[in-house]
Structure 1
Amino acid sequence: MQDDRSKKSEQEIDFGVLGEFLGYRLRRAQMNFFAKFGEVCEDLGISPGLFAVLAIVDRNPGLTQTAVAQALGNDRSAMVAAVDKLEGKNLLERRPAVNDRRSYALFMTEEGNRFFANAVERVSRYENEMAKCLKDDSEKEWLLDALERLANKSL
């Protein structure tokens, strides 16, 4: 005879101390958002990480790969792989950096600008839909502020 406890839905499961931990709740929310991102951007062949690289380069043309990696908290090898993918899709281009010919500066291509605008529109739509569970815009602003403080908290 199968134990009825094994059939509990996620809403019925007692998560114990996990529900009290910010990190766990943040991770669950991130998983939910990333899953939805995957749905709305699947046909574009872009991940949240690649989207983030495009977002940084869009607002900071000419930034070096290293500076983008640092801004996003990525290691250098992950950034090289991300830029390779984006360059392969003709969304970004690398140019020798003006101040350091050993480094590469990143720039959006015309195709990259169009692609990114389309991706931003899609992501904005789903973000707005996901944010409907919040009470109002002020709660969203409070949450964004709190997340920023947590992200910048030094240990």
Structure 2
Amino acid sequence: MEKISKTYDVPPPEALDASTISQSVAHQLRRAHGQFMQRFLHYFSVVSLRPTEYSVLAMIAENPGRKQSEIAAALGIQRANFVALMNDLEERCLTERRDVPNDRRSYALYLTPSGESLLNDARRAEADFEAECLERLGGTRARDQFLSLLARLFG
């Protein structure tokens, strides 16, 4: 049997109409997330941390001794995913779990000296990244407004 192929006129790229998606919050957030991740990974490549790992280390540093479940809940990370993440951070000697008195099912989380050192380096990378974001947004007032809008959207 002979295969019939159809040809379609494909408009040149400059003729594409993107008016619908350019006004789509979902589309713009997806694009912004992709670009954000590229920039974040660029800045944090010197410390070999992904965004979630950085958030976990920072949260533990600010809340040493808190339960694993509390840190996971505060960051919105599902329990199973958080356990795997903590296993990885512990294998890298960045964090440690300690037993919680009177609670055999829970662990308290702490940074190791290596974790504290890496977090200090990561905070410098974050400061550089934040400075770039601040510049792109147009200053602290615009950043505060942007964060407020995100909180309204997802808070």
Q: Which portions of structure 1, spanning 4 or more consecutive aligned residues, are displaced by more than 6 angstroms?
A: none
Structure 2 gap segments, 5+ residues each: 1-6
Partner of residue 124, structure 1: 127
Give yes or no for contact 2:64–2:109 (8 Å, CA) kept in 1: yes
Between Structure 1 and Structure 2, the one with more helix by share is 1
How many pairs were matched up? Answer: 148
Once the two structures are superposed, residues 55-96 of structure 1 have per-residue CA deviations (whole angstroms, 9 ceiling, x without a partner) of 211111112121111111111111011111111111111011
| Structure index of larger Rg | 2
- Counterpart residue number, 1:61: 64
Provide the residue aligned with 1:73 in structure 2: 76
Q: RMSD across aligned C-alpha pairs, in angstroms?
A: 2.2
Report the TM-score when normalising by structure 1: 0.84
**Identity, % of aligned positions:** 31
**1:85-110 alpha-carbon deviations (Å, 9 max, x no partner):** 11111111101123422111111111
Aligned counterparts of 1:16 and 1:142: Cα–Cα separation in 2: 25
**Structure 2 residue 142 is matched with structure 1 residue 139:** yes
Counterparts of 1:1-150 in structure 2, within 5 Å, are 3=10, 5=12, 8=13, 13-150=16-153
> TM-score, normalised to structure 2's length?
0.84
Give the distance between the partners of 1:99 and 1:54, measured in 2 at CA.
25
